[in-house]
Amino acid sequence: MTKKCFNARLSLLKRALVNKQYWLCFVAGLSLVFAYAPFSQWYLPLFVPAIVFYQLAQQTPKASAKLMGLFAFGWFISGISWVHVSIDQFGGLPLVVSLALMLFLCLYLALFPAFTAYLTAYFSKKKQLNLWLIMPFWLIGEYLRSVVLTGFPWLSLGYSQIDSPLASFAPVIGEVGITALVILINVCLVKVALSLKQESKKTLVTPSVIIIIIAGLSFTLTRVNWVQATGETTKVALVQGNIAQSIKWSPEQEWPTMLKYLDLTRINYDADIIIWPESAIPAIEPAVQDYLSTVNQSALLNESAIITGILNYNFESKEYFNSLIVLGGKQEEDEQGYFYNHSNRYSKNHLLPIGEFVPFQEILRPIAPLFNLPMSSFSRGDYVQHNLKAKNLHILPLLCFEIVFPHQLAANLTKQTHLLLTVSNDAWFGDSHGPHQHMEIARMRALEFGRPLLRSTNNGVTAVVDHLGNFIARIPQFEEGVLKTEVALVKGETPYSKSPRLILFLMIIMPLIIVISLQIKVNRAKKKEE
């Protein structure tokens, strides 16, 4: 590189560092962490993105992508900072390297909103951004973020609205639809601001009407009951063992851990269903058959069912699975409850990269302990599996990260499904906001699909949520304990649960058709005038 070229690049860097637009977008992104749990300032996403959209109004596609990328980088670097806790504490990497990995992850995630801004500017008229295109292109970007490289749709804007008036839209258009409404509200705010700036009352009408319609529909939908109570209840007990991650897989802790869960369960057999968290039993299933038989018989004698996380090794296929199994809980057609490899089980389908499988493992595993975490060589279970059966109830299970994917839940939901169940081990993330965001996502799934949800974790957040996404009960984090409560059962289907993919498609394609049609109409009118 020549000295002249170097000086030119240095000059560009200096200008970027003092660019007020860049800093404004970055800080706006940083602030969005407060929109999500545990802070839950849900009103922030209703105007913070508008700050960025306003900056995009007259930018080139390349400049638009830069500004939106900076906004998204700030959004993710603050919002998923909890990921660094696991990398730093359990990755075995120097601090500089672990920070570099976090930086790379956030830059990667920022590409999707940047892509959204680029497409919006590219397909707009020259020198003027068509703000109405942001919403459909944003949904395209979010969809890609949920599927590329197995997907990481964390921090989608709709999740921040679980306690806002917009939550009433969830049973109809899902979290993705709420995200679309959040973007649309921000676009309308920018349109209003531009109208006031240009003193144009004509362009003020449409965005104002849209906001009024959204507010009216939000109020109306709160009065609609999509599912109905059956009048039946079930008693549940969720066990939180609070086992430190640093000792969880120590061989000398195997039996103390298993005995702890059994002891906490024995005094709660009056519950119909008892839930232990993900991999509560720190051993592979074939190696602890005596223990499982004892627990099974104990549950049968007390007419209770236990659902626990456990790791299974299939000797025929020589594969490991992250699984859930049912112990006890005698069904009408099942007199003996549990036996090894019985069908009343679930194996995780959507595995977490690095944590549960390592892509390009021949290259990555020798590099650092991060790529050799315990149990990081799982195989996938089927995408569609039978609901678990316990005490003649049908329970739809999702393991840990899977709760982020509504399409997977929809594929496994049946008319017989009584409860949603998700178990996790968020001890990887310490006292960060990660577990609270995880719980927030689970609450949204309960509201979208109109079913009560049970969430059992190793050290919190352990909670029971009703079909409206509201907490029925929860217990403190980082404490050993058992959450006991009754859950009212419901029946029926929400509109969203019937066809979530169709709703996503319509939320993308309909605005595009409307915007393109209006643009064609405007162009024809201009030609006639000429």
Active site residues: 278, 348, 400
Edge-to-edge strand ranges of the sheet holding 388-390: 388-390, 393-399, 417-424, 453-457, 462-465, 471-475
Asked if 465 contacts 442 with a C-beta cutoff of 8 angstroms, the reply is yes
By DSSP bridging, strand 228-240 and strand 481-491 are antiparallel
- Report the interhelical angle of 500-529 vs 134-147 (nearest 10°): 150
Q: Which two tokens stand for residue 238?
A: 């969720």
Which long-range contacts (C-beta less than 8 Å, at least 24 apart) are formed by 289-294?
A: 289/340, 291/258, 292/325, 292/327, 292/338, 292/340, 293/338
Which long-range contacts (C-beta less than 8 Å, at least 24 apart) are formed by 330-337?
A: 330/300, 330/303, 331/389, 331/392, 332/392, 334/389, 336/300, 337/296, 337/297, 337/299, 337/300
By DSSP bridging, strand 462-465 and strand 481-491 are unpaired
Cα–Cα distance for residue pair 155/144, rounded to 1 Å: 14
Cα–Cα distance for residue pair 199/219, rounded to 1 Å: 31
Cα–Cα distance for residue pair 375/323, rounded to 1 Å: 12
CA 152, chain centre distance (Å): 8
- The values of phi and psi at residue 320, to 5°, are -100, 145
* 200-232 b/e (C-beta count within 10 Å ≥ 16 → b): eeeebeebeebbeebeebbeebeeeebbeeeee
Q: Cα angle at 313 between 308 and 315, to 5 degrees? A: 145
- In the chain, how long is the greatest CA-to-CA distance? 87
Size of the chain, expressed as the number of residues it contains? 530
Cα–Cα distance for residue pair 395/325, rounded to 1 Å: 12
Strands, E, within 37-113: which ranges? none
- Grouping H, G, I as helix, E, B as strand and the rest as coil, residue 85 is helix
Residue 231 zone, left/alpha/beta (φ > 0; ψ -120 to 50; rest): left
Asked if 138 contacts 508 with a C-beta cutoff of 8 angstroms, the reply is no
Task: Indicate the helix (H) or strand (E) that contains 395.
Answer: strand 393-399
Cis, bond preceding 38 (omega within 30 deg of 0): yes
**What secondary structure does DSSP assign to 290-346, as a single string?**
HHHHHHHHHHHHTT-EEEEEEEEEETTTTEEEEEEEEEE--BTTBSS---TT-SSEE
Give Cα separations from 383 to 302, 344, 348, 351, 412 (angstroms): 34, 16, 9, 11, 8
